[in-house]
Amino acid sequence: MNDFTIILGNKNYSSWSLRSWLALKQTGVAFDEEVIPLYEAGSVTKLLAHSPAAKVPILKHGDLTVWDSLAICEYLAEQFPEACLWPTDTNERALARAISAEMHSGFVALRGDMSMDMRHSAPDHIPGPGVDADIMRISEIWNECRAAHSGTGDGPFLFGDFTIADAMFAPIASRFRTYGVDLDSVCADYVEAIHTWPAFVKWFEAGVVEPYVINW
C-alpha cells in the first residue's frame, strides 16, 4: 500500500477528479486510487466514509485527508517542490494561481452546459446562455499565457512546462473537443497538447472504457 491514495469519481465524467489526479501524477510519487461511481445508490455514503464534504476528489496521505481539487493541488505543490507544480517565477506563479482560481470558481455557464463526457461527441451542440462569453474568456487566458511561452525550447503548456494551471484547464480542453468548439490556432494547439500528453491519455483511455454511465 502506498502512502498516497486518491479517491475519484467516474473518469469519463469527473472533471474535478481529473484535475487533482493529473497534478498527483506529475509528482511522480506512487499512489493508490479508488473510483467511486457518482450518482448511484450508496455513492454519498461511500464518499462520507472518506470525507465530510462527500465530494470527489479526496486525497489521503497517511492520517491526513485533503478534499477539494485546488486544495489538493496546493498540498501536492508543497509536498513535492521539486515537481515545480507552480511556475518558479514569482509573477508567473501569481498569474498561474489567479487563472487556476478563476477556473475553480468561474465559468459556471460552460461547466453546466457542456458536461465532461469523453465518450460523447456533440459537434452540433448549441451553447446555452453565457457559454460563448466563458469560451471567449478562456481563449483570452490561453492566448495570453501561450504568447509568453511560445518560443524555441518552450513546452506546449500554458507556462511552457506543465503546472497546476494546466491540470485545472485540461477538462476544458476535453469539453472543447467533445462539443466541437471553434477555436483559434493557439487554443487548438493547446487542446491538442493536452490530448497528446501521456498522463491525460492514460486517464482518457481508462475513462472511455469504464462501465459506469450517468444519464444527465
pLDDT one-digit tens code per residue, 178-204? 999 999 999 999 999 999 999 999 999
Architecture of domain 90-201: Up-down Bundle (1.20)
Architecture of domain 4-83: 3-Layer(aba) Sandwich (3.40)
75-121 pLDDT, tens digit each = 999 999 999 999 999 999 999 999 999 999 999 999 999 999 999 99
CATH 1.20.1050.10 location in the chain: 90-201
Strand partners, 31: 4
Count how many residues are written for the chain: 216
pTM: 0.96
40-87 pLDDT, tens digit each = 999 999 999 999 999 999 999 999 999 999 999 999 999 999 999 999
Identify whether the C-beta of residue 62 lies closer than 8 Å to the C-beta of residue 2: no
Q: How far apart are CA 112 and CA 39, in angstroms?
A: 16
Three cell numbers at 176? 472543447
Strand partners, 159: 161
CATH 3.40.30.10 location in the chain: 4-83
Question: Any idea which of 168-172, 173-177, 210-214 has the lowest mean pLDDT?
Answer: 210-214
- Residue found under cell 463526457: 117
